[in-house]
Structure 1
Amino acid sequence: MTGYGELIRTFGKIGFLSFGGPAGQIALMHRMLVNEKNWLDERRFLHALNFCMLLPGPEAMQLATYSGWLLRGVPGGLIAGGLFVLPGALLLTLLSAIYVYFGEVPYVEGALFGLKAAVLAIVFQALARIAGRALKTRLHYGLALAALTALMVFNIPFPVVVLCAAVVGACFPGSFSGQGERAADEPQPVSLSRSALVLCAGLLVWFIPVLALYQMLGPGTFFDQAVFFSKASVVTFGGAYAVLAYVGQQAVDVYHWLMPQEMLAGLGLAETTPGPLILVLIFVGFVGAFRDTGGFDPLTGGLMGAAVTLWVTFVPCFLWIFLGAPFMERLRANLSLSGALAAITAAVTGVMANLAIWFGLHVLFAEVRPVSWGRASVEMPVLASADPAAFAIMLIAGLWLWRGGGLLNVLAAALAIGMAMRLLA
């Protein structure tokens, strides 16, 4: 059994290195948990990823929580999910404070330029490995390509894509899965009383602090943030970008926590920090409470706003995993549903390909433009805006990793090269 010390060290490392959005984060976990540590096999990892893709909230953070739960139960899930989020949350809180006191921090993105290019190499390496093991027939490849097209060309939300894949797999199970895919270990029966206990405990942990906040301070910014971001955490299907327009509109026009250009600044800061992009909500909570402190000094108010936002945004993510994971583990051994799960795995490969292409376009090119025809639209790079430095770092990192270079050494070298290139530019 994996020890807690090793679990903390591994997921702590993942938390500090989880740059690059969900594509980079999933690729990093795949490399460390499947290839390096051999803690999870390929099928177990993809099974967990399939489930997390269907949930509201950041799928990579929930995948970390699910992985920790598989390794050490609820304590392992809390450790893994918490360490995935905390480094980015603390760094973004610090950057939010710097922003409100000193203005924008333009050099942060430049300092992490090399890191993003190296992470892109990790993304494509992981995608190739997952595709090689998950796509076994022409039908698998066709479904992955259909998922990629639906996402990249027609902008269909990926939960819809994944659900459609599940329906196809369930209707034609023999075409996607076989007897050999049954789980080797028979999961224990799911206890409904245990599920009810988990649900009640999760809701209490989620809402008791909110009610205590209202009891102590009454209505105001902190309670408004707790309620608003609790609602946002339930509707964040499709990733952070799917909900940012809604959050931005409410935060700017309804609650007046910040200005439109400040929402963009917060998004830029969140993109340069490790962890899920939805951490941008911490910036919104900090800035809003910094300016409407509820009687506290501005810095204390900002820190309280960030803490409240962090709590109500991510506690639900743990609840979804601890409530649903036991049922998903039972489904691993259910042959009648193996076709649906195999089809989801193929579609998720297409989802990851879409994330990888999107990430690559925005790292390797300074300008990307949508090209539309009818209801279809696809982002195309402006070739003249290609960044040779980003291409060079990506290729160096990819070759180094392919030849067996250590992950930390590769990322540290990429960070140093990126900083040097920006300073000399």
Structure 2
Amino acid sequence: MPKKSVRTLETTPLAARVPFREALAYWFKLGWLAFGGPAGQIAMMHHELVERRRWISEQRFLHALNYCMTLPGPEAQQLATYIGWLMHGTWGGIAAGTLFVLPSVLVIVLFGWIYLRFGDLPAVAGVLYGIKPAVIAIVVYAAYRIGRRALRNAWLWAIAAAAFVATFALRLPFPLIIIGAGLIGYLGGRYAPERFTLHDGEADGGNSALIGDHHATPEHARFSRARLVRYTIVGLLIWAVPFGSLVAWQGWNGVYAQMAWFSTKVALLTFGGAYAALPYVYQHAVEIHGWLTVPQMMDGLALGETTPGPLVKIVTFVGFLGGWQREALGPEALALAGTLGALVTTFYTFLPSFLFILIGGPLVEATRGAIHFTAPLTGITAAVVGVILNLAVFFAYHVLWPQGLAGPFGLDTLFNGFEWFSALLGAAALVALVRYQVGIIPVILACGAAGLVYAFALRPLLGG
């Protein structure tokens, strides 16, 4: 009798097992509760979809996650898109991925408006002063978390160290570092696979889930060359038509056309999570285009950490501030210009993630039980640790020496203008994160409150 029920389940359409309305309700809720970065978001989906609801088995969840981790872009959002697509086809994937991102975009636009309207108030400035050291601690903590999981042997430690030197001392472009690390991982997977193997963990081996280990792949998820070509063409058109319209409207050097091009490159280069893309985002948004300043970039990162959704939504913040501060629609329409910038950057940042799933998903489903494309990811992830540490050093310099170092390096110049309170607050935040496992949001809130107290009480008392 149990065998018959399993056989019947295998032939039942997945959409019939999980009603579309029920799935929509879950994706909508997840979008508002997706705090804690990709690790927290993936853990939340695993608990809900694998353990509680039993919509998908452990093994198939990990198989989908493995693919998403090899892609550029936000893996948690891509995983939601993949599972939504597996259950309800194209529209299921689009709905899941969109609802995962939409709440964070609304929050970013609202807070961006508050930030630009009231950011120069003493109370707001005091809170932001306290948050900046927390951002440094968070970035260091991210390198620690990734490094503890990824740097399992001397080879991977060497890749991380080389990536740090390449970014800090040699100033090599981020894409070149990623390509080099991926190539090393590929070669390592061929000639030293035991050093470059990602482990899926233990699978449950059962079929009690609605999408079980041995359940047949639904028709819409099976590979079809005609579907592959059709989806690729449609995807390119969805990218090209709005982009061409922006170029026709304001020219190639127009603010929105450049934002669309910049966001597309971010989407294709964010291997290893949003932290790995931050140096590239900083370089283009701050140094090349001048859409925002270094302090604004750090404030955006703090905002991204304290709001739901993938951290790469900091690009949405960049778009809002860039459109507003460049007065892209004239001085009378600043909020509208910022909102349009946020929409353009969000659309082009997340569009490739949808296409990767809808186009590549059928190929991945065909590889179940034979995952062999993770060795390059292992090399890239090791390099990401070094890149993130370089980012922490960069942020620390701008926070601890806001006026810069005057003169040659030495004790006198080192301590001249040094922000002792920021250093102590950042160290306390790092201890709270690493030693006591305090959540990121409580740490940011506590540091913001400490900055407020310092601005209104301690600094005047100390004569600062």
Q: Give the shorter-chain TM-score range.
A: 0.5 to 0.7
Matched, 1:18 2:34: yes
Quote the residue 2:118 is aligned against: 102
The structural deviation recorded for 1:284 is 1.0
Quote the residue 1:51 is aligned against: 67
Matched, 1:226 2:285: no
1:59–1:198 CA distance, 2 compared to 1 (3 A)? same
Q: Does the 8 Å contact 2:329/2:336 carry over to 1? A: no
Deviations 1:189-238 (A, max 9, x none): 51111001111111111221111223334441111111221122112222
Quote the residue 2:360 is aligned against: 324
Q: Does the 8 Å contact 1:53/1:159 carry over to 2? A: no
Cα distance between partner residues in 1 of 2:296 and 2:86? 40
Report the secondary structure of 2:292's partner residue: coil
TM-score normalised per structure 1: 0.68
Quote the residue 1:197 is aligned against: 230
State the one-letter code of the partner of 1:204: L
Quote the residue 2:346 is aligned against: 310
Deviations 1:367-394 (A, max 9, x none): xxxxxxxxxxxxxxx9995569879996
The structural deviation recorded for 1:75 is 1.1
Alignment of 1:179-258 (within 5 A): 184-187=214-217, 189-219=222-252, 220-258=254-292
Q: Does the 8 Å contact 2:57/2:213 carry over to 1? A: no
The structural deviation recorded for 1:279 is 0.6
For structure 2, the 5+ residue unaligned runs are 1-16, 164-176, 206-211, 397-423, 454-464
The structural deviation recorded for 1:328 is 0.3
1:383–1:206 CA distance, 2 compared to 1 (3 A)? closer
For structure 1, the 5+ residue unaligned runs are 125-130, 132-141, 367-381, 398-413
1:315–1:391 CA distance, 2 compared to 1 (3 A)? closer
Q: Does the 8 Å contact 1:93/1:286 carry over to 2? A: yes
Quote the residue 1:260 is aligned against: 294
1:44–1:255 CA distance, 2 compared to 1 (3 A)? same
Would you identify which runs of 4 or more consecutive aligned residues in structure 1 move more than 3 Å? 104-110, 142-172, 180-183, 185-189, 216-219, 382-395
Cα distance between partner residues in 2 of 1:211 and 1:245? 28
1:384–1:288 CA distance, 2 compared to 1 (3 A)? closer
Cα distance between partner residues in 2 of 1:26 and 1:184? 23
Q: Does the 8 Å contact 2:34/2:40 carry over to 1? A: yes
The structural deviation recorded for 1:278 is 0.9
The structural deviation recorded for 1:102 is 0.9
Quote the residue 1:405 is aligned against: none
User: Which has the higher Rg, Structure 1 or Structure 2?
Assistant: 2
Cα distance between partner residues in 1 of 2:294 and 2:449? 29
Cα distance between partner residues in 1 of 2:292 and 2:346? 18
Quote the residue 2:410 is aligned against: none
Cα distance between partner residues in 2 of 1:29 and 1:162? 29
Q: Does the 8 Å contact 1:282/1:310 carry over to 2? A: yes
Matched, 1:27 2:43: yes
Count how many residue pairs are aligned between Structure 1 and Structure 2.
357
